[in-house]
Structure 1
């Protein structure tokens, strides 16, 4: 059966039922569009491919539970968020490296400070990585992009209360993960 003439809505229903041909049609219909959007922003083919593949992998893995109303819009938002997350993680690592360089230049404790900072960096990454995807995304938008609660709510099409809840949960998780580092002075 040729699926090229089917609407996205029908393909999504077939996908939810586990039809791998429907998934392949969705993939072939949208892969290039997502890749071009990612490549345009990243200027790196491998990273763009990796982000797109991850989106499609998640769709396939969550095909029975995922709720998508408009496939094109969902995929555009997914690639945009993937690019944002990629830039944020790159920026976080650059900030950590810069902090380490600044710390080593001015710290009296030398190697011990670097080790402590490295451990703290790993603990922060682990804590952020343990957050559910939506909570992690909201936390990064709040703390790294410094968006307001209202801006995040508007961008993600959720209530401001939901944004506040996710930020609160993020901070609670970070406190637990970082409790051993609270007494350190940087």
Structure 2
């Protein structure tokens, strides 16, 4: 992206989506806009040296990283943002190709039975952590841990793909 027209096209196409994403993560309108603006400034300044394969991936990841940078500077808890990021991906990004969907089914089958059950109850049946804990006679922390481990295991299984973050989107699509 070396010319101004390409940049303006990307800016026009992604500004609102990135701003919504940033606001959902920060809950601060001014910070959200500043983050997105910083990402676009950086993109423009580095346009000749950066090679972008997937613009969605690049921009959303850049916004996430910029938010983390802001939070680190203010010493805020990053885990809350990770959760918001995962939720946003699940709700807003389009599903990936069928090859990845097939791989996800295989990865789901590799999860330990109880972990898979908890994960599917949460994603497929849209049960809360508390509901799952009650139904399976487990602590809420155990359910949270199993969900976290399931996501980590699934993410690690798709790390060879261009954007592992798309996993959440695909899972939402497959399980909806």
TM-score range, shorter chain: 0.3 to 0.5
TM-score, length-normalised on structure 2? Answer: 0.42
TM-score, length-normalised on structure 1? Answer: 0.40
Q: Which structure has the larger Rg?
A: 1
